[in-house]
Structure 1
Amino acid sequence: MESRKKRRSFNYFALVMVFVIGYFAFRLVGQQVHLQQIAEDQAVADARLAAAQAENEALKQEKANLQDLSYVEKIAREELGMTRQGELPYTEAGK
């Protein structure tokens, strides 16, 4: 009867396959984490680019406005308190 019993041997092929599948699963998860980080970095870079482009447009508009003498006069009067020759500056008492 003992000859009929099949002796169980260790299945090395199954062990190797488990390790191979585990290795590729580990690599896949690592790549997904890396791609997620790259996507987040891309979103931050896109936001910074949009902000820089908006600031650039505002600066271009300011540069164009500075070519207009009436705008320059307005800024000089409002922000710097300058007046034309012969004018008296008006200031509020509360300031």
Structure 2
Amino acid sequence: MEGRKRKRRFDFFVPLMAIIIGYFAFVLVSQQVHLGQLAENQAAAEARLSAAQEENEALKEEKAALSDPAYIEKIAREELGMTRHGELPYTTARK
């Protein structure tokens, strides 16, 4: 009986392990890509936060300056073209 050829069964272990390893490699790579996107989103959000904080500080400074009568007069003269009573506005001719 030893001289007979044995039927060779298909071994499922090697393909099964290859599939399992492939699945875990795919999951690992997709998680790394997702983490990279999250890091980019976080950096963009931090940049927007920093810009908003700077704008907030500038607006607080302007609000504080608006309580100063000299600053109010300067803004009224420069941006609105207002004058005091009895003053004549001076404008230059543009060519």
Report if TM-score (shorter chain) is over 0.5. Answer: yes
Alignment partner of 1:51: what SS? helix
Question: What residue in structure 1 maps to residue 91 of structure 2?
Answer: 91
Is 1:63–2:67 an aligned residue pair? no
Partner of 2:26: 26
Identity of aligned residues (%): 68
- CA-to-partner distance for each residue in 1:52-92, whole Å, 9 max, x for gaps? 11110110011011011100000101111101111111111
Residue 93 (structure 1) shift: 1.6
- The aligned length equals 94
TM-score by length of 2: 0.88
Gap runs ≥5 in structure 1: none
TM-score, length basis structure 1 = 0.88
User: In the alignment, is residue 46 of structure 1 matched against residue 53 of structure 2?
Assistant: no
Secondary structure of residue in 1 paired with 2:62:
helix
Once the two structures are TM-superposed, the CA of residue 94 in structure 1 deviates from its matched residue by 1.6
What RMSD over aligned residues (CA atoms) do the two structures have, in Å?
Answer: 1.9
Deviation at 1:9, TM superposition (A): 3.8
- Structure 1 position 29, deviation (Å): 0.6
Unaligned runs of 5+ in 2: none
After superposition, what is the alpha-carbon deviation per residue over 1:10-51, rounded to whole angstroms, capped at 9, x for unaligned? 321111110110010010011011111111111111111111
